[in-house]
Amino acid sequence: MPTPQRADGRRRRESLLDAALDSFAEDGLLGVGIEQIRRRAGASPSSVYHHFRDIGDLTTAVLLRTFERVTAHMQSRLARAGTAEETVRTLVDSFLEWALAHPDEARFMYQAMALELSGPQHRDLLEAKARLQEPIFARLRVLSDAGDLPPWPAAHLYSLLLGAVHDACRHFLAGAETDPAWMRAMLPGAAWRSLEPGAQDDRADVVFMTNRDETVALPDTPIDRS
């Protein structure tokens, strides 16, 4: 059982992360300094620097917490999926469900991922993200080994099934006319159709974007903007 001092420390750290996220939502990722976050959280300077070295360290911590939250949500939904189709559709819909319910956090995630982090921060973040995603990747490997998904590395499968989702979410969170109901109705099926056995031989609308290790699959049905 954690001591009162440790519990207090965790609460102060969470308060700083919450204050950072709120500040980023209001003023943008590049318009916020650590002093603004400190004042918003009502924390002392010593408390801030006890937990975080600088604004980059604090931003990385918010991003890691975001990865933890979205991955936990996806895994909780995935526990009820059985077949390959259910797995793919659930992964897509659960990510959409989380992003649409937490727009400030999702918007921050995309903004932060576009920044160049320093070497150790970038390496540590990638390693932590890989650990969080491993249960999902393990499920994809099992389905791939069984022939229910293409014989590709799990990271490639994951990129393909979420590529169009990331693209649609970025547009929606930036204020584009992207219909959330359409996203949840159409994108899970589009992801499955791009990955179901035999689909890779005749699908010409899948484009790999290797510079970001993402994949974008063009939707089969246009957005109804009426």
From 142, 190, 146, select the one nearest 165 (Cα to Cα): 190
**How far, in Å, CA of 184 to CA of 101, rounded?**
12
SS3 call for 217: strand
- Which residue in the block uniquely carries the two structure tokens 């603004």? 36
Q: pLDDT digit of tens for each residue in the chain (226 aa)?
A: 556 667 787 899 999 999 999 999 999 888 899 999 999 999 998 889 899 989 989 999 999 999 999 999 999 999 999 999 999 999 999 999 999 999 999 999 999 988 766 667 778 888 999 999 999 999 999 999 999 999 999 999 999 999 999 999 999 999 998 899 999 999 999 999 999 987 666 544 444 433 334 433 333 433 333 3
Q: Residue 209 pairs with which residues in a beta bridge?
A: 214
Tell me the HSE value of 190 on the side-chain side, using a 13 A CA sphere. 24
Q: What is the pLDDT of residue 213?
A: 40
Q: What is the pLDDT of residue 114?
A: 83
Q: What is the pLDDT of residue 99?
A: 98
